[in-house]
């Protein structure tokens, strides 16, 4: 069936839902913010009042919330997905969470006969909306094949990480640690450019065509130059992800020179009251 449920239809989940609807999928949606559900209902989604209702009768439930605690609430709390998921259903985990949490959640689902697709996403809301975001997929081969249509409908950039659930989460943390390091570096460089009296637009033009270029640096610093800190990617997200990446590194016995510094800059931004701002506000923090 070309039917999925999506719980958590904020920036990323909402984009994913709209993209599937455009392709003719039946999409059942639930979110604690009813306005987000109503917006998708106007596009043809089935609005659900609870997680359990969103999971009713779907072969694939996509969980697109923020952290492991929210994942657990979606799946296991009263009114959660387990109350209505079919024993042959599959849960697709898209948040960036610790690999250990992914493995434990998958084990608890397996006890009920429910398979797990470990599939963190990357690319931002616009790419979720147009299907060009990345999905890092780890799951058993038969589970992947059973849901290949949905996975490939969601993303034109599907990376088959392997069969070990948890490796998708590991890959995402490695990626996001580098994203965090790159963003801190870009914000520092642009703050320096401002301090020494350079034109910021011209400086970023040069960087984008030279060895200092990074996608996240260009994307966020363009907004920062305009003073646009309306949240597309909340500061809290990379603060969380860099922290999780460093925790995973420590568990693996790895100690790198830059990750902890990037994590600490994001933590500093939260203490400075920038939690509800776009992470482009690192420039504001470092230029002050």
Question: Model confidence over 185-236: pLDDT tens digits?
Answer: 999 999 999 999 999 999 999 999 999 999 999 999 999 999 999 998 899 9
Q: Which of 36, 172, 240, 284 is catalytic?
A: 172
pLDDT of residue 227: 96
What percentage of residues in the chain have a pLDDT greater than 70?
A: 100
d(CA 111, CA 261): 40
Is the CB of residue 169 less than 8 Å from the CB of residue 96? yes
Non-local CB neighbours of 161 within 8 Å, separated by 6+ positions: 118, 136, 137, 138, 167, 168, 171
**Superfamily of segment(s) 3-165:** NAD(P)-binding Rossmann-like Domain (3.40.50.720)
What is the rounded CA–CA span in Å between residue 122 and residue 248? 19
168 and 106 in contact (C-beta within 8 Å)? Answer: no
The residues pairing with 5 across neighbouring beta strands, listed in sequence order, are 28, 61
Domains 3-165 and 170-287 equal at CATH topology level = no
The pLDDT of residue 123: 86
Beta pairing partners, 186: none
Per CATH, the number for 170-287 is 1.10.1040.10
Comparing CA positions, the residue from 110, 233, 89 lying closest to residue 166 is: 110
Q: What are the pLDDT digits (tens) for 133-183?
A: 999 999 999 999 999 999 999 999 999 999 999 999 999 999 999 999 999
What are the φ and ψ backbone dihedral angles of 136, each rounded to 5 degrees? -105, 100
Give me the chain's average pLDDT, please: 96
Helix (H) or strand (E) holding 62: strand 60-63
Kindly compute the dihedral angle of the four CA atoms of residues 166, 76, 36, 283, in this order, to the nearest 10 degrees.
-40
Residue 1 reports pLDDT greater than 80: no
What's the pLDDT tens digit per position in 39-74? Answer: 999 999 999 999 999 999 999 999 999 999 999 999
Q: Which helix (H) or strand (E) holds 38?
A: helix 34-41
Domain ranges, ordered by start, for the chain? 3-165, 170-287
In angstroms, rounded to a whole number, what is the distance separating the alpha carbons of residues 111 and 101? 16
Residues of the chain above pLDDT 90, percent: 97
Name, in order, each residue with C-beta under 8 angstroms of 239's C-beta and a sequence gap of 6 or more. 263, 266, 267, 269, 270, 275
Is residue 172 part of the annotated active site? The answer reads yes
For residue 256, pLDDT over 70 is answered with: yes
Q: How confident is the model at residue 87 (pLDDT cuts 50, 70, 90)?
A: confident
81 in Cβ contact with 109 (< 8 Å): no
């Amino acid at each position: 069936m070309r039917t999925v449920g999506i719980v958590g239809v904020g920036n990323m989940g909402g984009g994913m839902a709209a993209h599937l609807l455009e392709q003719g999928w039946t999409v059942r949606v639930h979110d604690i913010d009813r306005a987000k559900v109503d917006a998708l209902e106007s596009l043809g989604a089935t609005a659900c009042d609870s997680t359990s209702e969103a999971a009713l009768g779907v072969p694939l439930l996509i969980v697109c919330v923020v952290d492991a605690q929210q994942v657990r609430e979606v799946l296991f709390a009263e009114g959660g997905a387990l109350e209505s998921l079919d024993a042959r259903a599959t849960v697709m985990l898209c948040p960036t969470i610790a690999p250990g949490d992914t493995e434990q959640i998958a084990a608890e689902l397996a006890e009920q006969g429910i398979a797990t697709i470990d599939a963190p996403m990357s690319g931002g809301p616009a790419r979720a909306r147009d299907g060009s975001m990345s999905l890092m997929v780890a799951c058993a081969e038969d589970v992947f094949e059973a849901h290949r249509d949905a996975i490939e409908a969601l993303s034109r950039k599907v990376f088959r990480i392997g069969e070990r659930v948890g490796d998708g989460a590991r890959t995402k943390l490695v990626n996001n640690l580098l994203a965090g390091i790159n963003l801190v570096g870009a914000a520092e460089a642009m703050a320096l450019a401002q301090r020494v009296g350079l034109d910021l637009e011209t400086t970023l033009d040069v960087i984008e065509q030279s060895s200092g270029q990074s996608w996240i640096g260009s994307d966020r610093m363009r907004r920062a130059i305009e003073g646009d800190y309306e949240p597309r990617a909340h500061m809290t997200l990379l603060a969380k992800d860099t922290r999780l990446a460093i925790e995973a590194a420590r568990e693996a016995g790895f100690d790198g020179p830059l990750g902890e510094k990037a994590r600490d800059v994001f933590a500093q931004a939260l203490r400075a009251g920038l939690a509800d701002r776009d992470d482009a506000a690192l420039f504001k923090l470092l230029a002050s």
